[in-house]
Each structure stands twice: as structure tokens, then as C-alpha cells.
Structure 1
Amino acid sequence: MSAPSRASSRCAESGRRRHQRGAAVITALLTVALVAGIASALVGNYGISLESLAGRHDQSQARWLARAAVDWGRNVLADDFGSNTVDHLGETWAVKVPPTPVEEGEVSGELRDVSGRFNLNNLVVGEDADEDAAAAFVRLLESVGVSNAEATAATLNLLDWMDADSVSRLTRGDERSAMGSAGSHALPPNAQLAHEDELLQVPGFDAQLVARLKPFIAALPAPSKLNVNTASAEVLHAMLPDLNLDAARILVAERERAWFKDVADFNARLPEGAQGFDPAVADVRSRHIIATGRARFGLAVARMEVLLDRQQRWPTIVWQRIL
């Protein structure tokens, strides 16, 4: 090996080691902050009567620890809100805290961006379907292996599930009858989705398809903007008709080296001929993030998932689920 090659190799190896050390330091700091906040509160909340059953006691403490991890995440996001104008997956809040021992158990947590996903509720805003959003969803379905005909039919069923009228877009007949004939055992709510799992009740969406879609979709309060710094190649390709999937993947790879500072910066880096985003539908900040807290206390295990809205400095809770 030539001298320049050996020097280049040593430089690359040194860079990798610095990156690994940096990631380890961030994870350690997050872990210490999480445990310090939870451990002190745990001592003060440990006062449970001796008559309580051990199982109920453990379950209560496990849930409390999981919620404490979620509130710790809210604090992290509140600190980030005032110090940054751009959100991306290289920030401290995006680092997962691994399972960490606490008194009689362990706790962990993570913050997961969902503003970079396709918001299903953007398909119908008010009483009208958004035709551009519907076309984008068809492209997203195609990108996970669904044929155009099946993707179109599934999208029309989803629009019927959410829109305010009672007319089927597929049969032009009664919406409920059409849904029933297609195999749905539930009546369309004619409202926004509460969670993406609701897709399982819509004709055209089986468990396998929903599982393939899960990394790319969310059910958020609409209308919402897409964060181009956290969106996957599949979602960017779906949202921009002129951006093919291969070009979107290259754009995402390049983004890891230099995050988009604003929507104009994103549009400027698109391939020639591709039309960019209107700032009304895209952003470089994430308004919605899911905080997950996991905890074990004694014999009990608890997991809590909370959708947070970051419109203000202190994130508000949109919904929470105990899993």
C-alpha cells in the first residue's frame, strides 16, 4: 500500500473512532440525565401501603416509570425548541436511551419523529379530499410493491372511510354497502384516523400491507407539513411526482452530510427538472414526535407511547397509549 493510501486509511479510521466516541458520549449523557431525574422522583413516590398486592404495586410503578421517561423526553424537546431552527436525525433528541437499571427495575425511552412520514389525515381536510395527496398516496403504495390498480382502489376506499359523504367512490352506490361487500366489518366513521392501525379495517389494507407501510405513514392532526430532513426516500418520491425513487435515495444519502437549512435549500438540491415543495406543505422542523417510555419494575413491564405536538416550547400531548 502506498504512503498516501495508508494515510487516507488512518484518517478514515480515526474519523470513525471519533464518531463512535461522540455517539457513546451522547448516549451516556442522556442515560445519566434520565436516571437522575427518575431515581430522585421514585424515592418520593415509593410510599405504597403494605396491604397492596405485589403485582399491582409493581405494575403501578412500572407505568409510573414509563411515564417519567416520556416526560423526560418532553424536557429534551423543550430544550431543543429554543436552541434550534432545524430538526434532523443527527440531533441529541434522536438518540435512543438503552435499558438502564433503576431501583428494582430498568427504564428506557426514545423520541421518534413522525413529521417525516406521510400524514394519512392530509388526504381529507374538512369535507373535501385532496387529490394531490391521494395521488401521492397511490405512489407510496406502489413503492412498497402494490400494483397501480390495487393502490388506486385502496386509496379510494380510504377516502370513503374518511370523507363526510355516504357515496362510494368505487361503485357510486351506498358507501356502507360497498364497504361491507368488500369485506369490512366496521362502519366508516367519516372522520380523520385516530391511528394508522385503523387502516386494518379499510378494504384493501391487510395486516401484511399495513406492516410494510408502517415506517412511512402516520395519522396526525391535519393539515400538517412534511419535514424534508427526516422524510424517507419513499415518502419524498411519493410527495414529488418528478422525483423518482433512485434520485430520492441519493438525495437522502447526501442529506446525511449536510442537512437542509430550509425548504428553498431542499428545492435547490433537487435533480434538474424536478419540481420542489411549496413551503405551505413542507418544512425543516418536526412538529409531531412520538415519545416512548419502557419500564420494568419487579415482575411488571410497561410500555407507553405518546404523540407530542411541538407547536409551543413545552410539547403538548395529543394522545397516549399504554401498550
Structure 2
Amino acid sequence: MRRARQQGLALITVLLIMALVVMLVAGMLRSHQLLIASVSQQSETSRGLQVLMAAEHRALGLLRERLAEDMRVIHDAQPWAQPQLFSLGDVRLRVQVEDLAARFNLAALTRSREPDPVLFARWQRLCDALGVAPPDLAALHGQPFFDVSQLRELPDVDAKVLERLRPWVTVLPVQAGLNINTANGQVLAALEGVTPAAGRQLVEARPKDGHASVREFLQDPLLGEVASARGLTVGSRWFGVNLQADLEGQRMHLYSEVEMDFDTKRLRVLRRAFSTVRQAGVE
């Protein structure tokens, strides 16, 4: 009886050890599978980035060709603004270019301790229309300001506020004005005496080839007599290039901000952002 009990205990011990070994092996296999999946995902992401970088080179070449004409007036009926589709090998790509001067330039408010009152009032009206309290930009004065994401450093800007503002604002050199030929109704409604409805009407009534001058724009009856020419322009040399690639069931994006030198006809990449999520404000 005692011997049978010992044999039973031995059998139970062996079974427990075997169960432990099985669990350890299963855990190792699971870890191995996760490692393989991780390496595979990294490989796909790396390939996607390589494809997007190659596509960026091609897209910038196309943009340079389309901006090679007399570009003193920039408007969204020009060829550069039309979306493009092309392929690199088995990868389908979509390119959409936007005029960054169609957004409110935050750098114009942070270049001096006392912001331009006209531009500051527009900033407040834009924020009010977006349903956010105008963030105090004073803390950014005198600091290197390169990207909209730096707003997150301000105490009154949380992630929700940042994402609400991102599609409507940009950070360009202080001399960059608001291009009235590409700005949408929401941004134009921040001008003096312009209602949201009038902002939409200004876009609908915009000439096919854009306004030839700010003076011509200010003569529009929808503006009345209170709109100021301060900070307005009909041109731009800053563009956002959004590349979308569909690679093996995964959608990837490369967003590049570029500056055009109209004398040398060269494009300089200022910033890049790689993501699997479409950037806010880009169609």
C-alpha cells in the first residue's frame, strides 16, 4: 500500500513537471511568435517608409514642374493643387498638396512681445469660431518656434485643443502672409467684419484664377470697409505634401512641409512626419 502511494506521488510529480515544461514551452513559442510578428511588422514599416521616401522624391519633382511657371499668384485651381495617383512597383500612392499659407501663421504673433493688434484680433476670432479659448502665446516669445505641436507646451493647450487647432494654423517665417486665394471660409471669417456666412461666400465668389492682388480682394462688397490688408497676400512658397501608400493592406502616410525658391526653382524639405494615421487638415 505504501509502495503504491509512493508510486502515485511520483506519478503526480512527473505530471506536474511535465505540465510545467509544457507551459514553459508554450510561453517560449508564444514569445517567439510575437518576436516574429514584431520583426515582420518592423520590416513592413521599414519598406513602407522606403517606398514613401522614393515617392516623395517623385512627388517633389512633379510639384517643382508645376510650380515652374510664373507663380506670383497662387490659387487652388492650379495643377499643383490637384491630387495625383501613381504606382511604384506594386504600391499605389496618392499625393495631395496644400498651400500652408492658407492657414493662420502663428509665428507672426510670437515675433515680438506685443503682438500685432490686427493679427491678434484675427487669432481670437478664429479660436472663438473653433470653440476654444485663445491660448496665450506669450510663453513662446523669443523661443525657437518650428512646429504647431509646440503649442502643447502651453499650460492651456491640452491634446484636444491642439487637435482642434492643428488643421487651421501653421508655423512659417514671420513674413509669410495669409493667402486669400487658398484660405477656406473658416479662416477668411477671422478677417475684420467677415461673418462665417460671408467667409463661405468669399470662397464661392473667388475668381477661377484667384485674386490678382490683395487690393482687388478688398474691393469685394462682402468685406465692407473695415477689412485690413495687414498680413494678407495672394502668393505662397510653402506647401504641405501628403503621400499616402497602400502597402500589403496597411495604409501609411508621409507628410512633408517644403519651401519653394522661385529663383532657383528648388524645393527644400523643412519637416517630415511618418504615420499610419492621416494628418488632420489634409484631404
Query: When the two structures are superposed, what TM-score results if normalisation uses the length of structure 1?
Result: 0.64
Deviation string 1:31-52 (CA, Å, 9 cap, x unpaired) is xxxxxxxxxxxxxxxxxxxxxx
Matching residue within 82, 100, 103 for 2:68: 82
Deviation string 1:234-286 (CA, Å, 9 cap, x unpaired) is 22222x323233222211111165621222221122436334443x6222222
Residues 315 and 242 (structure 1), Cα distance of their counterparts in 2 relative to 1, 3 Å cut: same
Do the aligned residues in 1 keep the contact of 2:77 with 2:209 (CA within 8 Å)? no
Question: Within 1, Cα distance between the matches of 2:78 and 2:181?
Answer: 11
Question: Within 2, Cα distance between the matches of 1:202 and 1:101?
Answer: 42
- Which stretch shifts more, 282-291 or 295-304? 295-304
- Deviation of 1:126 (Å): 4.9
Deviation string 1:144-203 (CA, Å, 9 cap, x unpaired) is 124xxx43xx2xx222x2114xxxxxxxxxxxxxxxxxxxxxxxxx332x3222323323
Residue in structure 2 matched with residue 142 of structure 1 by the alignment: 128
Question: Within 2, Cα distance between the matches of 1:299 and 1:234?
Answer: 35
Provide the secondary structure at the position in 1 that maps to 2:92: strand
Question: Within 2, Cα distance between the matches of 1:320 and 1:261?
Answer: 32
Larger radius of gyration: 2
- Deviation of 1:288 (Å): 1.0
Structure 2, unpaired ranges of 5+: 1-38, 276-283
Residue in structure 1 matched with residue 234 of structure 2 by the alignment: 284
Letter in 1 for 2:144: A
- Deviation of 1:115 (Å): 0.7
Question: Within 2, Cα distance between the matches of 1:139 and 1:55?
Answer: 45
Matching residue within 206, 211, 218 for 1:260: 211
User: Structure 1 residue 317 and structure 2 residue 276: aligned?
Assistant: no
Matches within 5 A, 1:119-268: 119-126=105-112, 128-146=114-132, 150-151=133-134, 154=135, 157-159=136-138, 161-164=139-142, 190-192=143-145, 194-238=146-190, 240-255=191-206, 257=208, 259-268=210-219
Do the aligned residues in 1 keep the contact of 2:193 with 2:226 (CA within 8 Å)? yes
Structure with greater contact order relative to length (CA < 8 Å, sep ≥ 6)? 1
Provide the secondary structure at the position in 1 that maps to 2:68: helix
Residue in structure 2 matched with residue 64 of structure 1 by the alignment: 50
Residues 142 and 92 (structure 1), Cα distance of their counterparts in 2 relative to 1, 3 Å cut: same
Residues 215 and 270 (structure 1), Cα distance of their counterparts in 2 relative to 1, 3 Å cut: farther
* Residues paired across the two proteins, number: 234
Structure 1, unpaired ranges of 5+: 1-52, 165-189
Q: State the Cα RMSD in Å.
A: 2.7
Residues 54 and 208 (structure 1), Cα distance of their counterparts in 2 relative to 1, 3 Å cut: closer
Provide the secondary structure at the position in 1 that maps to 2:102: coil
Question: Within 2, Cα distance between the matches of 1:57 and 1:234?
Answer: 42
Query: When the two structures are superposed, what TM-score results if normalisation uses the length of structure 2?
Result: 0.72
% same residue = 22
